[in-house]
Amino acid sequence: MTKPRSYKYLIYSSLFVLTTASAHSALIGYWNFDGDTLVETSGFKAAGTHDGEAVGTVAYTAGPSGFGRGLDLGGANGVRVLNSNMQNSGSGGYVGGFNPTYQDTYDSAIASSSVTISLWFQGMAGTWSPFVAKLGEVNGYQLRQYHNTTGTTFTVRGTGGIDDPKGTIEGLNNGIWHHLAGVWDRDAGNRFLYVNGVLDTGGSIQDGTDTGSMNLATWEYLTFGSRDINGSVRDFGVGKLDEIRIYNEALSQVQVQALMVPEPSVSLVAGILGIGLLVRRRR
């Protein structure tokens, strides 16, 4: 018997939900701040390896609609990621010695392939306020505010392209949540900046010149809402952050847009599959 189109739609929808929820095997860092914690939950490394550590006093708030809780930094507060720094005292310093538990997850592990950083943010103040940074000055990278504008940039140091292509989508410091993603496609030599799923052509390099090796910032912490410079976490200025994701591959625009849609809960997936089975049994 030929199945009705409604039945097929339910099954295909269920499969789509399942595959969407389990997509992106290249996810190497994920902090969703649900449960009001700084726990890293990608599963790429052993639990606890890349959990966040508060610098100052962080708070939590409601995230974008459908995304649970978010991080409220407000003021001189930030987050550094454990085991992401090779040297305890930062670049050029030896007082703190080498960190024996350092992991290269956010340095050579992405510089030899590609990288995508995705997040939600609300509010920025000052100049060059960083959302996510691995130093990003001379060495490393940052997804951040462009200078003192209300636009953004994806800074990558040491490649053939301009370090800080100026995003032309502005007006983002307006008190609401915005999705931001920076993509560096090392093989193709391109860099893309997406604001609320839209390609910011001004902040992108699409002519294949963004090639070569990134200057790594191995000695510094990966940080949120701040920068680690010479062992000092500073340069605060971001209001709220949520759903910080890092991939060791260049996601497409469609994949970036999919990150703006909340993943379905386990109960919802089970319910959809249950409805599909019920419909099948009634045929």
Q: Taking 80 as the threshold, does the pLDDT of residue 2 lie above it?
A: no
Q: Taking 80 as the threshold, does the pLDDT of residue 250 lie above it?
A: yes
- What digits encode the pLDDT tens for the residues 111-137? 888 999 999 999 998 899 999 999 999
Cβ partners under 8 Å of residue 275, min gap 6: 10
CATH code of domain 24-260: 2.60.120.200
Local confidence band at 7 (pLDDT 50, 70, 90 cut-offs): very low
Q: Taking 80 as the threshold, does the pLDDT of residue 217 lie above it?
A: yes
Q: Taking 50 as the threshold, does the pLDDT of residue 11 lie above it?
A: no
Query: CA-based Rg of the chain, rounded to a whole angstrom?
Result: 20
CB hemisphere CA count around 124 (13 angstroms): 31
Nearest Cα to Cα of residue 58 among 271, 255, 253, 242: 242
- Is the CB of residue 22 less than 8 Å from the CB of residue 245? no
If phi > 0 it is left, if psi is from -120 to 50 it is alpha, else beta; for residue 92 that is left
- What digits encode the pLDDT tens for the residues 165-188? 999 999 999 999 999 999 999 999
Local confidence band at 90 (pLDDT 50, 70, 90 cut-offs): low
Residues 177, 167: Cα–Cα separation, whole Å = 18
Which secondary-structure segment (H or E) carries 276? helix 266-282
